[in-house]
Amino acid sequence: MSELLKLADGIVERARPGEQVEAYLGRSHHTEVKVFDGGVESLSSADTQGVGVRVIVDGRQGFAYAASLDETIVAETLEEARDNAAFGTVDEYLGLVAPDGVEPVDLDLYRPELASFPTDRKVEMALELERAVRAADSRIRGLESAEYGDSTSESAIATTQGIRATTRRSGCSIVASALAGEGTGTMTGTGYSVARTPEDLDMAKAVKDAAEKSTRLLGARKPASRRVTVLLDPSVSSSFLGLLSSGLSASSVIKGRSLFAGRVGEAVAVPFLTLVDDPTEPLAWGAGRYDAEGLASRRNVLISGGVLQGFLHNSYTGRRCDQPSNASAVRGGYRSTPGVGSRALSLTPGDRTQEQLMADVGDGLLVQSVTGLHSGANPISGDFSVGVEGLLFRDGAPAEPVREATIASTLQRMLLDLVAVGGDREWLPGGAAGMTLVIGDVQLSGS
């Protein structure tokens, strides 16, 4: 039995009569190598561990966490959570989830070889990444950053209601940001690769992306304002899917913060759009055997044929809506109580490549990167306006690069203005997959 689960059991055993207690324990090990100008700038290695304790008693909830598994501190944390519960509002729907009999799918998320991968080779990979990006194109004058990072983590949940779940995962990444051109004409481009183990990292792809994305923007100018058809690159469409995700949480619906509230059974998107959250998909970065309350993960269809099917639930929202949790509890580690959210959101991919889609569309803007998503997109009203860099294309072929421009629409309209979904699905860190999306009639603002 995992050591963490044993510790979690130890906390739960101390529950008093009438109390529901949940102990969530997490432990992780990280390594990060940053290189600059052919040398190691920093090498960090760190172990993190902590506990989050939730106590529900007399219809009230309290929570406390500590970044330590020290016995005295853990005991204090339980006491604090217990004390905090006295100040919550009584809510009859509060309660820990009971096991629902669904068996978890075995996912291959932990690779022991990462733990034994030598640090020197991690350093070499970061140095090689920097060298290769620099050598990829003579117009690249340097790198803003080049780094290798990895982590292995495990967590355990135990509750007085009989939940006992453990998870282990490993992951690593390389990421480089290239600087191309000189002075005020400088442009940047990022390339990366993520995998469960270093052997699976795609160095060539990371290098090619950083080099191409920075150099193809050289000479970029502010475009004239107009309405355009846009192609969103996979990394961009993944961020947009992430924005939709909050509206699909039953918690947002119940609290009147969802633009999808009251629309189950209605057409909210074009008929060829199907949106699924499937954390049992092993390729998904957010895949996991269990949700954050310890129920086995499952596949949830949210939009099918353009029609809204339902929402993501944890046990609390499920109780409020008189239905079971669909195992969509998420939490930011041991520091917070479970909320509701997606972990592996994806549209059903189409079958066209980005180049083919560009040819199909003819004239438009390929959006390579966006900025200001947090300041310019409001998932409640649906309004969005974001800074963009990318390439205009004409007659299906790349034309002038653009910078210092924005695109704006609403999330509601975007789902109805979707023209095509690419076949180039990429699973990215974060809760959503990316693929090229074609969206018609978006406002481009420039000069």
Partner 1 sequence: MIDEAVVARVLAAALRTGGDFAEVFAEDKLSSSARLDDGKIEELTSGRDRGAGIRVVRDDTTGFAHTSDLTEEGLRAAAEAAGAAARGGGGGVREVALTRRNNTSPHEVQILPEDVAKSRKADLLLKANDAARAAGGAVRQVGATYGDSHRKILVANSDGLLTTDDQVRTRLMVSCVASGDTGMQTGYEAPGRTIGFELFDEVDPADIAREAARRALVMLKARPAPSGTLPVVLKRGAGGVLFHEACGHGLEADLVGRDASVFRDKVGTQVASPLVNLVDDGTYAREWGTYAIDDEGHPAQRNSLIENGELTDYMWDHLRARKAGRQSSGNGRRQSYHHLPMVRMTNTYVLAGEEDPEEIIRQTPHGIYCVQLGGGQVNTATGDFVFGITEAYMIENGEITHPIRSANLIGNGPEVLRAIDAVGNDFDTWTGTCGKDGQGVPVSSGQPTLRVSAMTVGGTAA
Cβ–Cβ < 8 Å for 32, 42: yes
Residue closer to partner 1 (CB basis): 77 or 159: 77
Residue closer to partner 1 (CB basis): 190 or 274: 190
How many residues bind partner 1 (CB under 8 A)? The answer is 82
Side chain identity at 43, as an amino acid letter?
L
Residue closer to partner 1 (CB basis): 154 or 389: 389
Interface residue with partner 1, options 15, 179, 292, 418 (CB under 8 A): 179
Across the strands, what pairs with 303?
Answer: 275, 308
- Residue 328 and residue 279: Cα distance in Å, rounded? 9
Interface residue with partner 1, options 12, 81, 129, 295 (CB under 8 A): 81
- Residue 19 and residue 95: Cα distance in Å, rounded? 10
CB of 407 to partner 1, least distance (A): 7
Angle (nearest 5°) at CA 197 between 194 and 203: 50
Q: By CB under 8 A, what part of segment 23-52 binds partner 1?
A: 36, 39-50
- Residue 253 and residue 275: Cα distance in Å, rounded? 18
CB of 354 to partner 1, least distance (A): 23
Interface residue with partner 1, options 254, 296, 347, 391 (CB under 8 A): 254
Residue closer to partner 1 (CB basis): 296 or 340: 340
Element (H, E) at 8: helix 3-12
Q: Which stretch binds partner 1 (CB under 8 A): 1-9, 161-169, 252-260, 428-436?
A: 252-260
Helix (H, G, I), strand (E, B) or coil at 316: helix
Interface residue with partner 1, options 7, 11, 22, 77 (CB under 8 A): 77
Residue closer to partner 1 (CB basis): 276 or 411: 411
CB of 99 to partner 1, least distance (A): 24
Element (H, E) at 164: strand 164-180
Residue closer to partner 1 (CB basis): 179 or 421: 179
Interface residue with partner 1, options 155, 159, 337, 368 (CB under 8 A): 337
**Which residues make Cβ contacts (< 8 Å) with residue 164, sequence separation at least 6?**
5, 8, 9, 156, 157, 158, 294
Residue closer to partner 1 (CB basis): 323 or 381: 381
Q: According to the binding rule CB under 8 A, does residue 447 interact with partner 1?
A: yes
Interaxial angle between packed helices 119-136 and 203-215, expressed in degrees from 0 to 180 and rounded to the nearest 10: 30
Interface residue with partner 1, options 1, 18, 138, 374 (CB under 8 A): 374
Core vs surface per residue 65-86: b (16+ CB within 10 A) or e: bbeebeeeebeebbebbbebbe
Q: According to the binding rule CB under 8 A, does residue 353 interact with partner 1?
A: no
Interface residue with partner 1, options 25, 64, 327, 418 (CB under 8 A): 64
Q: By CB under 8 A, what part of segment 375-414 binds partner 1?
A: 375-376, 378, 380-383, 385-387, 389, 403-409
Side chain identity at 352, as an amino acid letter?
R
Q: By CB under 8 A, what part of segment 224-243 binds partner 1?
A: 225
* Residue ranges with strand state E in 296-445: 300-304, 307-308, 329-330, 339-340, 345-347, 364-371, 383-394, 397-410, 418-421, 426-427, 433-434, 437-445
Cβ–Cβ < 8 Å for 205, 243: no
Residue closer to partner 1 (CB basis): 140 or 357: 140
Cβ–Cβ < 8 Å for 352, 218: no
Cβ–Cβ < 8 Å for 334, 325: no
Q: By CB under 8 A, what part of segment 90-149 binds partner 1?
A: 91, 119, 141-142, 144-145
Q: According to the binding rule CB under 8 A, does residue 428 interact with partner 1?
A: no
Q: Which stretch binds partner 1 (CB under 8 A): 3-11, 180-188, 195-203, 231-239?
A: 180-188
CB of 348 to partner 1, least distance (A): 28
CB of 60 to partner 1, least distance (A): 8
**Interaction pattern, residues 265-304, with partner 1; x per rule: CB under 8 A:** ----------------------------------------
CB of 258 to partner 1, least distance (A): 9
- Residue 315 and residue 309: Cα distance in Å, rounded? 19
